[in-house]
Amino acid sequence: MLKTIYFGKLSGIDLYLHWTFWLLIIYLFLSELGRGVGHAVATVGFVFTVFICVFLHELGHAFSGRWFGVQTHDITLYPIGGVARMQAKELTPFAELVIAACGPLVNLVIATAIAATWMAKVTWETATDIGALGPWEHLFIVNVALFCFNLLPVYPMDGGRILRAILKFFVAKDVAIEWSARIGQVLSAGFGLYGLFTFQISLVIIFTIMFFVCSAELFQIRLRRSMAAGTGSWPQPPWGGPNGDLGGDQGGEVIDAEDFRQVR
């Protein structure tokens, strides 16, 4: 019944809306129906608008990648965010930095554009009364949240890649990956514990996933060192299970940050 929708190509990039996206739409529509059909339709419309912003974020990665000769195969929107599948390619730290930063920068531009029109008519009373905010103001808040959340220096967020790229300016590639993964582990563990102690289960789930992604990065770099050293011995994976490939990204494939974001 529910199908992944193919929208066509934009500048050579295939665009998809994953079938699970409709589950989110149906869930939101039904959960908001109690407040009236108009409210439910408005909520769904707002979610579509948010996902247009997520889509534009992915285009930010895709088009900046093109400046450095990296092609994007496709962009798919999931309920938890967007994924841009980009050509695996060895990149300079500068290229990696620009490509990772251009996604969040799109959200910053959108937020700034909304703020510019909003500021022209806002008063202190309307600005501090959240209940009085209209859809544009909510969209401003969403884009600021997308910008900030994506800049968290934790894998698989854009901030993790930005940190890795910056470290590569100063230390060897392997060291940069290891340090950025360890910083990501510490931060995700910290945020996860904060969520645990404040009973915010969504935070616990999100940062637990991030902790494992950071651990997988560490595992991959240890594996590569082990193979390069010719020892032939595979390190024990951090999750304690059998060795396996979680999908490499070192060449430049961007499995995007919004993978783990909850839409609010």
Binding site for Zn ion (CB under 5 A): 103, 158, 256-257
CA 142-132-36 angle, to 5 degrees, is: 85
C-beta closer to Zn ion: residue 163 or 257: 257
- Alpha-carbon torsion angle 167, 171, 176, 178, nearest 10: -140
Nearer to Zn ion, 249 or 256 (CB): 256
The one-letter amino acid code at 12 reads G
What SS3 class is residue 86? strand
Q: How far apart are CA 243 and CA 35, in angstroms?
A: 50
Catalytic amino acids?
58
Give the H/E segment covering residue 82: strand 81-86
Cβ 257 to Zn ion, closest distance in Å?
A: 4
CB of 254 to Zn ion, least distance (A): 7
- Name which of 226 and 250 has its Cβ closer to Zn ion: 250
Helix ranges, 156-200 (H): 158-168, 173-197
Alpha-carbon separation of residue 200 from 129, 156, 178, 192 (angstroms): 25, 21, 29, 9
Q: What's the min distance (Å) between Cβ of 170 and Zn ion?
A: 24
Q: Name every residue whose Cβ is closer than 8 Å to that of residue 31 and which is 6 or more positions away in sequence.
A: none
In angstroms, give the least distance from the CB of 50 to Zn ion: 15
By C-beta, is 96 or 256 nearer to Zn ion? 256
CA distance to 5, 58, 99, 194, 247, per residue, from 24 (Å): 15, 20, 29, 27, 26
Q: Which C-beta is closer to Zn ion: that of 17 or that of 84?
A: 84
Per the CB < 8 A criterion, the answer to whether 46 and 138 are in contact is yes
What is the spatial distance between Cα 187 and Cα 189, in angstroms, rounded to a whole number? 5
| Cα 98-53-140 angle, rounded to 5 deg | 100
Q: Which is nearer to Zn ion, 178 or 256 (CB)?
A: 256
Cα dihedral sign for 41, 44, 50, 54? Answer: negative
